[in-house]
Structure 1
Amino acid sequence: MTPRNTGRRTTRAVDARHAAGVIDLYERGHIDLNDALARISGVNDGTSSVTPPMDKRRIHELLRDLDDLVGLDEVKRVVREIFALVYVQRLRQEHRLKADPTVLHMIFYGNPGTGKTTVACILARMFHECGLLEKGHLVEVERADLVGEYIGHTAQKTREQIQKALGGVLFIDEAYSLARGGEKDFGREAIDCLVKAMEDHKHELIVILAGYEREMRWFLSTNPGLPSRFPIQIRFPDYGVDQLVQIAKKILASREYRMTAEAEWALRSLLQQALREPRLDPFSNARFVRNLVERAIRRQAVRLFDEARPKRDALMLIEARDWQGDEAR
C-alpha cells in the first residue's frame, strides 16, 4: 500500500466520522436538515464546520450530576472552569475572534474511592454534549491492558486500547506503573505510543491519567515532555467522616434501605476508628463504605431470615447490630 492510498483512506475515514457526527446532531435536534446537508457536502471542499453548537441545557444537567456527588468542592470548581472556557472559546469562534486551542488532557491525583472514575465518566459525557468528542464514552485501562510480554506486543496492545477510546476518554488508572520497570521495561513503550496518539488524534481523544499523588508526580518527572501535555491537574481529597456517612446513606437509598439513628451513630463510630487505624495502604474511602454497606445488608438478611414474615419497613431498615463485626481495614 502506497502512502498516497493510505492518505486517501484516512481522509475517507475522517469524512465518514464527520458525517456520522452531523447526522447525530440532526437526529438530536441541534441542527436542521439544511444545515446538516451543508455540513456534509462541505467535507470534500474543506468548508464544513466540524464544531457543533453547545447544548447548555444538557451541560447543566450533567453539572447537576456532578453536584450530586458528595464533597469534591475543588473538583467541581475546576470542572466548571473547564466548561466555561470551552463555551467562551466556542462563542469567540462564532464571532470570528481568535480562539486558542484548548488542551484537555488531565491528571487526577487521589487515593482509591475518591470519585476519580465517576468524574471521568461525567466529563466524557459533557465533552460529547459540547461537541468535542464524537461518542463521549470512557475506556478505563491499567498497566496490564497496555503492556505486552514481548517486543512489539506493547505497541499493539496500546494502539488497540487507543482505537477503542477514539471519540471518548481514555482513563489510565495507576498510570505511574508504566514507568516503574526501568529503561528496558515495556511500559516505556506504552508511554511513547500514548504520547504519539495524543498528537495524532488530538481532536478525537482525551487522555486522563490517575493515581496516588506522590507516585504520579514522580511519574511526570521521568519524562520531561509529559507535564506540558497534561495542563489540567486535579486533586481528589480523601473524604471525612461526615462525607463518608453521606455516601453510605446515598448507597443505601439507591437500594431502598435506610438506617436507624442508632445505626448511623454505630457507622460513624466505625468510620472514626477506621480513619484512626494505622495502615500500610491508603484508605479506600467510598470503596470502604460500599463494602461496609454490602456486609450490613447481608447481616440484615441473616437477621430477618428467621422471622416468619418481615414487614416492608423491616426489610428496608439497617440497624446498629448490622454494622457489628466490622473492623477498620
Structure 2
Amino acid sequence: MPEPYTYTKNSQINIIFNQKKENSVPMPFPIDEKISHAPLEKLEFRLKKLVGMKDIKQMVKELYAWLYVCRKREELYLKAERQSLHMLFKGNPGTGKTTVARLLSHLLAEMGVLTKGHLVEVERADLVGEYIGQTAQKTRDLVKKALGGVLFIDEAYALARGGEKDFGKEAIDTLVKQMEDHHDEFVLILAGYSEEMDDFLSINPGLPSRFPMILSFPDFTGSELLGIALQMVKERDYVLTTEAEKRLSRHLRQKALNQEMHFSNGRYVRNLVEKMIRQQAVRLVRESAFDRDALRTIRTCDLVLEEDYKPSVISGEVTGH
C-alpha cells in the first residue's frame, strides 16, 4: 500500500491523500465528452473574490488538476486512481469553511463528478432525534436530499457528545453506512474547531480513513480581516473615510494579535460592518444629512468598537463613551 501523501505549507494546511489504485476502474464522469477548462476559469474567478486562504485556494486548484488528469488517463486506457472525495474541514468560525464547501460543490458539478452540485448545510439538531429510530431516519433523509451534491455538517464533533442515551452516535453510524451505500453519489464534509474535530475522529477508528482530505483553515491576519471588511463595505456601496479606515485597521490587527480562542473571524467582521452602518444611519437621521456623499460615507464616529467601552470608576458598570 502506498504511503499517504501529506502536503504541508506554513503549518496552515494539512491535506492527506490516501490513494487507492484499481485497474481499469471507470471514473464517475463520462470520458467521451470533450473537455474544456471552463470549470477552471470559473473556479479561478470565484477564488479571486476570497480574501487570504492562499493554501486552500492552491489545494482546490490541485483537486481540479487531479480530476482532469485522471479523466485524460482514462481516455488513454491508463490506470487511474479512484479516491473518495469526502472531506474534513478544521478551523475557527468565519474562516471560509462553508464558502469553500459551496465552491467545491459547484466545481464538482461542473466537472461532472456530482450530478447536481447543491449544498445541504446541517448541524446536530437536524440529524439527531429524540427517540430510538428517529435519528437514523432523519440522517438517511438528509443524505437522500444531498445526493448529487454536498452534505455539509457544521460542528460535527457535537454528534459525539452526550451520554449513553444520546443518539449522536447513531447519526454517525448511519452516516458511515450511507457513505458505503451511496459511494460516489454525494460528498460529505464535516467541519468544526480543530481540537474538537481531532477528538471526534478518535471515537471511531474507521472514521479517519473515510475522509482522505483534511483541510485546516487558519485564522485571518489583521490585514486580511481589514480586506474582508473593505470588501463588505464596497459591496454595500459605502466608503470609509481615511481616518475611519485607519481606526478599523488598528482594531482588527489587534484582534488578530490577541489570538482569542474560537475567534469568529469573518463573522466578527460582518457584524462589525453591519453595526457601523446602523450607527451611520442613526447619525444621519440626527443630522438630517441625506445627500449622496453623506449616505455613502462611514466616518470614525460610526465605528463603535470594544475599546470604546470601559468600566465606570464610580459604579463599576460598563458604559460607552
Shared fold, TM over 0.5: yes
Q: What is the Cα deviation at residue 184 of structure 1?
A: 4.1
C-alpha distance in 2 between matches for 1:128 and 1:108:
20
**Identity over aligned pairs, percent:** 55
Q: What is the Cα deviation at residue 67 of structure 1?
A: 2.7
> Structure 1 residue 155 and structure 2 residue 143: aligned?
no
What code does the residue aligned with 2:209 have? S
**Cα-to-partner distance string for 1:68-105 (whole Å, 9 max, x where unaligned):** 20110111111111111111001111111111212110
Q: 1:278 to 1:251 in 2, by over 3 A?
A: closer
What code does the residue aligned with 1:288 have? Y
Task: Choose from 90, 100, 110 the match for 1:109.
Answer: 90
Aligned to 1:187: 168
Q: Is the contact between residue 127 and residue 133 of structure 1 (CA under 8 Å) also seen in structure 2?
A: yes
Aligned to 1:294: 274
Q: What is the Cα deviation at residue 185 of structure 1?
A: 2.3
Q: What is the Cα deviation at residue 315 of structure 1?
A: 1.0
Matches within 5 A, 1:185-224: 185-224=166-205
Q: Is the contact between residue 222 and residue 257 of structure 2 (CA under 8 Å) also seen in structure 1?
A: no
Q: 1:76 to 1:325 in 2, by over 3 A?
A: closer
Matches within 5 A, 1:235-274: 235-274=216-255
User: When you count strand as a share of all residues, which structure comes out higher?
Assistant: 2
**Bigger relative CO (Cα 8 Å, ≥ 6 apart):** 2
Task: Choose from 265, 273, 289 the match for 1:285.
Answer: 265
> Structure 1 residue 85 and structure 2 residue 60: aligned?
no
Q: 2:81 is paired with a residue of what secondary structure? A: coil
Alignment gaps of 5+ in structure 1: 1-46
C-alpha distance in 1 between matches for 2:41 and 2:246:
36
Q: What is the Cα deviation at residue 258 of structure 1?
A: 1.3
**Cα-to-partner distance string for 1:11-68 (whole Å, 9 max, x where unaligned):** xxxxxxxxxxxxxxxxxxxxxxxxxxxxxxxxxxxx9x95264542133212321232
Q: 1:210 is paired with a residue of what secondary structure? A: strand
* TM-score between the two structures when normalised by the length of structure 2: 0.83
Q: Is the contact between residue 274 and residue 328 of structure 1 (CA under 8 Å) also seen in structure 2?
A: no
> Structure 1 residue 318 and structure 2 residue 302: aligned?
no
> Structure 1 residue 174 and structure 2 residue 174: aligned?
no
> Structure 1 residue 131 and structure 2 residue 112: aligned?
yes
C-alpha distance in 2 between matches for 1:82 and 1:72:
15
Q: 1:306 is paired with a residue of what secondary structure? A: helix
Q: Is the contact between residue 270 and residue 328 of structure 1 (CA under 8 Å) also seen in structure 2?
A: no
Q: Is the contact between residue 271 and residue 328 of structure 1 (CA under 8 Å) also seen in structure 2?
A: no
Aligned residue pair count: 281
Q: What is the Cα deviation at residue 324 of structure 1?
A: 2.7
What code does the residue aligned with 1:305 have? V
User: When you count helix as a share of all residues, which structure comes out higher?
Assistant: 1
C-alpha distance in 2 between matches for 1:214 and 1:227:
14
Q: Is the contact between residue 277 and residue 328 of structure 1 (CA under 8 Å) also seen in structure 2?
A: no
| Aligned CA-pair RMSD | 2.0
**Cα-to-partner distance string for 1:210-268 (whole Å, 9 max, x where unaligned):** 00000001111110000010000001000111000000000011110111110111112
Q: 2:51 is paired with a residue of what secondary structure? A: coil
C-alpha distance in 2 between matches for 1:247 and 1:149:
40
Aligned to 2:319: none
C-alpha distance in 2 between matches for 1:328 and 1:165:
46
> Structure 1 residue 305 and structure 2 residue 280: aligned?
no
Segment drifting more, 65-74 vs 290-299? 65-74
